[in-house]
Chains A and B, each alone.
Chain A
Amino acid sequence: MSAVLRVLVLSGRNDHDFRATTPVIRRVLEESGRFAVEAVLEDPSRCDAAILARCDVVVSNWSAFPDLTGRRWGAAAEKAFLEFVRAGKGFLAVHAASATCQDWPEFQGLVGLTWCLGRTGHGAIHAFPVEVEDRGHPIARGLNAFFTVDELWHEAACLAEGKPEVICKAFSSKESGGSGRWEPVLVATRLGKGRGVNLVLGHDVQAMRNAGWRTLLLRAGEWAATGEVTVSIPEDWPATAALASAQAVDPEAAIAAVAGHRAGRSRRTLAAVEELVRAASTASRGGAPSRAQRELAAMIASALPSSATVDAKAFLLKQLSFIGTEKEAPALAPFLLDGDLSHAVRSALERIPGPAAEGVLRGILGRAMGKLRVGIVNSLGNRRVRAAAGDLKGLLGDPDRDLCSAAAGALGKIGGEEAAKALVEALARTSGAARAIIGDACLECAGRLLAGGDRAGAEAIYRRLDAPEESDPVRGAARRGLEALGREAPGGSKD
């Protein structure tokens, strides 16, 4: 990766919510690892040569709208800024940042497009696709179309000589209150050795959550600064309207809205979070959870303690079964001892990949009582936690029949010599219905030993179970096991 690019951010004054959007722009730039913000100025007249000398690109979220003229920066700042760009650096205007300084020709040349009173307009905020117009431009290279939920300007005007280069466009539909024409949404310009970009999209924080918009911001900033682009396409590309709509939701607000949920109330708030969870899963490819997934899982886990109702907590835990990561596992431990939530927690812990979830289950086993302990034993078995075999062995003689049966089942699933030995020993001292349960676990163990190549170990178990004191089904299964061994034995009988 090339050196970090330094950014001067201009912010303020305009009719948009810059106090909310500028921090998002800053965060997106810095979290990419490609940029560092040198300063944020709310007064462009302070944009002097000293600051600019430390920067590679000016990113503007500043506008004096509705004053389209008469709000120049002052001669010194304007001179320093234009020299900075001409010398080979760049300028990136975000959304309304072009709708100002229409009495400054060089500025208009850099933004390429601006809001023209009486002509330019926009329809309602809605989901629409953004298409690539110029595939050869570095900003657009390898970029596929994406959906976003944003305000789409139509009939923006070019007040400078020469037209800007259109890199991305979107169709402004009549139904949304638009022009019925294709409209530019990302244009590029030149000034001396430097470059200007106008990213017309990005009306509000919601629009700025879109991964497509974020990619355009980063690539445009990079190209403006250097003329080259290295930022790659993110994994959570909003290729569909549904994905874009999910990205537009504020996840913290959506999760907070679930906090008081009670069964029987509308599922609307739940469905919104479920949609976020599915979108976050989409972003994860292969073995590792994506950043979107990790962030959402962390948000859900941190909302657990403050959620007022059991129903809300159980719902959030179910979402962690889909997207929870190792990082959330330790914080779930206390809920394993809560009778109303233990099952929901196990739903998450049985699914979270990696050893952390197993450690949480093992760690709490000795403290859980009654049915909750049975559940934890079941989870250890389902995850086949070999390290738990020692603890589980001790439960085979427990007077609680459910616990004893659960331990046998878990040891059967875990398998291995240690489990097999413990189960066969327990068989001898168990009677009644529980004996068949332990017998079944022995059979499962034998199957696993065989699958692992230990024929002698499997055969010993089958022979032990082929005895009149075992139940007919267990004995019959043991004979089947022996018959199968006989068939497979080298030189053994073929029928």
Chain B
Amino acid sequence: MAMRGRKIHRREFVRRAAGSAAGVFAAPWIAPAGVLGRGDAPAPSERIAMGFIGVGGRGQAVMMEFLGCPEAQGVAVCDVKRTERERARDLVDRHHGGKVCAAHADFRELLERRDIDAVSIASNDHWHVLHALAAARAGKDLYVEKPLGLSVEELKALRETVNRYGRAFQFGTQQRSDRNFRFACELALNGRLGEVHTIRVSAPSGPGERTGSETWDPAPVPEGFDYDFWLGPAPVSPYTPKRVINPHWFHVSDYSLGYVAGWGIHHVDIAQWGNGTELTGPVEVEGRAVFPADDGLCDNALSWDVDLLYANGVRMSFTSDGGKNEHGIRFEGPEGWVHVKRGSIDAQPKSLLAGEIGPKEIHLPVSDHHQRNLLESVKTRKKTISPIEVAVRSDTVCHLSDIAMRLKRKLRWDPAKEEFPGDAEANRLLRRAMREPWRL
């Protein structure tokens, strides 16, 4: 039913665009003839029209992945930085061979466009959920970069809204679309290691990415940059260039949890997958961290070391200490281990790697291209490889780790109720207030 609705919009739009090029919906989607005949690619009017919100470095990379799929048609980009949105618009135009893409400064304008089917969101972390909520309420399908949100309450609100509007959702944990990660999880889930008892996870904390300066001077906001819009739900703070550039803002708590989520989410998500706990979570968490004392902007953890316990008895060690746990994810059982990271998989005994997963064993869903996997879901309405329910649970593990390392005491977690039972002092950290007028 949803697809039927979409197609009606498309026809309406094409009619309107053909009749008049003026008005709010005047994004020039009148494709030059050359675009129509791209091999066996669908004609533009049958493609999935996409908008891209947040088109800095990562946003443009994801955008180009989408545009590499013949069924995607870029029609709009949005960024509060003029240079970024114009560069991205030009990339889309060049890709499709014509003036097909509009550049918006305000995401709400982009979302008002009824011709857009799906949006890809790669804004700063503190905007992810607000952008995604607005897109879901506008009936768009979504790709959302990781990490998901700045509080567990944000995650839950997004899950509720995505499901309310029945939107296809893909979370940017693209390791799920990689054979090695999937195979490592299948080995763990099918008992090839015996009963897994330990999962070791390590991800970098990015200590070299801090500003490194104790003081800074407020600077004038550059022309063409809507700084107040960039801050959005975050507290007002004077502008300084380092605040808003990648990677420093990852390490400022007003905009991000830091790499415990920014990098950690990738491997934590695989750990949840291979542990068979992707729709639930740990029952206990205890953490330690070192926080910076001498950086003028950055206040997220410099390093962390977190221990989690699952109801199935599995213990997970999640740390930024690459000496303690090797970078990546390692599942350990009495009969062996498998370690996986980007570009490599290793196991003991080695023979595990040559094994095949039998027909009666657990086979995880297969995706070989993370962005195309969303586009397939837009058409079929089937679940993506990283759907919202999974995204919320994986991201929650990062939040629990962050909260535990701040409280520095052992916390119990109830994954069914998604709260710390009987612990109001920990539960208060599951939410954070947004600057007015922004709200969930």
Contacts and interface: CB of A to CB of B under 8 A. Distances in A.
A473 B425 contact: no
A265 to B, nearest CB: 6
B425 A287 contact: yes
Consensus secondary structure, chain B interface: loop
A312 to B, nearest CB: 13
A472 B428 CA distance: 36
Nearest to B233: A343
A444 B435 CA distance: 22
Contact of B293 (A263, A272, A379, A473): A272
B432 A472 contact: no
B204 interface: no
Interface stretch (B158-166, B304-312, B352-360, B386-394): B158-166
B342 interface: no
Contacts of A350: 431-433
A381 B214 contact: no
A343 B164 contact: no
Contact of A375 (B216, B294, B296, B436): B436
A177 B62 CA distance: 58
Given A271-B293, A382-B431, A480-B164, A473 B139 contact: yes
Interface string A226-246: 000000000000001001000
Interface string B1-19: 1100100010000000000
A351 interface: yes
Contacts of B437: 371, 374-375, 378, 402, 405-406
Interface string A276-303: 0011011011111100010000000000
B407 interface: yes
B3 to A, nearest CB: 11
Residue with the greatest number of chain A CB neighbours at <10 A, chosen from B112, B288, B291: B291
Interface size class of A (residues with CB under 8 A): 35 or more
A480 B166 contact: yes
B433 A347 contact: yes
A267 B294 contact: yes
Nearest to B290: A242
A382 B433 contact: yes
A372 B436 CA distance: 7
Interface string A436-456: 100010011001000000000
A170 B161 CA distance: 58
A264 B436 CA distance: 24
B425 A284 contact: yes
Contacts of A409: 439-440
A406 B439 CA distance: 8
A281 B238 contact: no
Given A267-B294, A342-B436, A382-B431, A287 B424 contact: yes
A339 B236 CA distance: 11
Consensus secondary structure, chain A interface: helix
B215 A264 contact: yes
Nearest to A324: B428
Given A282-B407, A476-B166, A267 B214 contact: yes
A314 B235 contact: yes
Contacts of A281: 406-409, 425
B217 interface: yes
Contacts of A351: 428-429, 431-433
Contacts of A286: 422-425
B100 to A, nearest CB: 24
A314 B238 CA distance: 13
Interface in A374-399: 374-375, 378-379, 381-382
B218 A472 contact: no
Given A287-B422, A351-B429, A476-B5, A278 B407 contact: yes
Contact of A263 (B165, B238, B409, B438): B238
B240 interface: yes
A52 interface: no
Contacts of B424: 286-288, 353
Contact of A267 (B293, B422, B440): B293
Contact of B439 (A278, A378, A433, A444): A378
Interface string B117-133: 00000000000000000
Contact of A289 (B217, B293, B425): B425
Contact of A264 (B240, B407, B429, B431): B240
Interface of B: 1-2, 5, 9, 112, 114, 137-139, 153, 160-161, 164-166, 214-218, 235-238, 240, 288, 291-297, 299, 406-409, 422-425, 427-429, 431-440
Interface of A: 240, 243, 263-268, 270-272, 274-275, 278-279, 281-282, 284-289, 293, 314, 318, 321-322, 340, 342-344, 346-347, 349-353, 371-372, 374-375, 378-379, 381-382, 402, 405-406, 409, 433, 436, 440, 443-444, 447, 471-473, 476-477, 479-481
